[in-house]
Structure 1
Amino acid sequence: MSEKCETGPHDWVASKGRFILTWVLPAILIVITGVMQLAPWITGSIWAIALSWMGYACLRNARQCGRMHCFFSGPFFLGAAVFALVTGLQWIQWLTFKELGIILLIGTPLVCVLPEVFWGTYKTAEHVEKE
């Protein structure tokens, strides 16, 4: 599985163009809307869409090529999307966009680096046998 991803177009993280479109541009959109004084529902909607796209892309990448950190970052981004939406709709009062931004700022590097430090870049046959 890993040979196909490392040498082919299947790993979106390894492709600069796909990486930029899939994760960098949504992250920039989150930062820009985070500092703007928009209505909460607008900020929440934009963040939810951007984070959902990032989460979907991670899960797709995990399934397609077994990129290890994508198994963790996908659910992390999708969960953050839910919190962004409910924060924007003001259904919860205990979380602000600033706090969610800090969670994303700290959590994203952790879920994108630590899994690959512990288990390698790609899910291997060794990991599959353990499941």
Structure 2
Amino acid sequence: MSEKCETGPHDWVANKGRFILTWVLPAILIVITGMMQLAPWMTGSIWAIALSWMGYACLRNARQCGRMHCFFSGPFFLGSAMLALGIGMQWIQWLTFNGLGLFLLIGTPLVCVLPEMFWGTYKVATNGKEE
């Protein structure tokens, strides 16, 4: 599987265009709206949509090509999207957008780097062959 992903368009992380559209632009949108003085519901909605898109893309990439860190970053981004929505709708009082931003700033590199350091770039089948 890794050959298919590394040489073809199947691994969205390895494809520069898809990587920018799928993860870089939503991250820039999060940073920009985080610095603006928008209503909390608007910031929360924008962050939730951006993070949901990132999480969906990670899970799709994990399923399609087995990119290891996507198995972790997908749920991480989807959970963060729920937190962003909760903050924006003021259902969550114990966390702010600044706190969530710090959580994302620290957590994103960890969930994107550590799994591949420990288990490799792509999921490997239990029989020793890559899936």
Q: 1:77 to 1:64 in 2, by over 3 A?
A: same
1:6 matched to 2:6? The reply is: yes
TM-aligned CA deviation for residue 128 of structure 1: 7.8
Name the structure 1 match of 2:36.
Answer: 36
Aligned to 1:18: 18
Displacement of 1:125 after TM fit?
2.2
Deviation string, structure 1 residues 32-66 (Cα, Å, up to 9, x no partner)? 00010000000000000000000000000000000
2:48 equivalent in structure 1: 48
2:100 alignment partner in structure 1: 100
Please tell me the root mean square deviation across aligned C-alpha atoms, in Å: 1.3
**CA distance 1:92–1:128, shift in 2 (3 Å):** farther
Aligned residues: 129
CA, structure 1 residues 27+128, in 2 after alignment: closer, same or farther (shift >3 Å)?
Answer: farther
Task: For residues 13-47 of structure 1, give each alpha carbon's deviation from its aligned partner in whole angstroms, at most 9, with x where no partner exists.
Answer: 00000000000000000000001000000000000
Q: Unaligned 5+ residue runs, structure 2?
A: none
TM-score for the superposition, normalised by structure 2: 0.95
The 8 Å contact of residues 2 and 124 in structure 1, kept in 2 or not, is answered as no
CA distance in 2, matches of 1:16, 1:39: 33
TM score, norm. by length of structure 1: 0.95
> Partners of 1:122 and 1:50 in 2: how far apart?
25
Aligned partner of residue 125 in structure 1, secondary structure: coil
CA distance 1:127–1:119, shift in 2 (3 Å): farther
Query: Aligned residue for 1:90?
Result: 90
Taking only the aligned residue pairs, the percentage that are identical comes to 85
Q: Give 1:54's aligned amino acid.
A: M
Match of 2:78 in 1: 78
Higher helix share: 1
Q: Any runs of at least 4 consecutive aligned residues in structure 1 with deviations exceeding 2 A, and if so which? A: 125-129
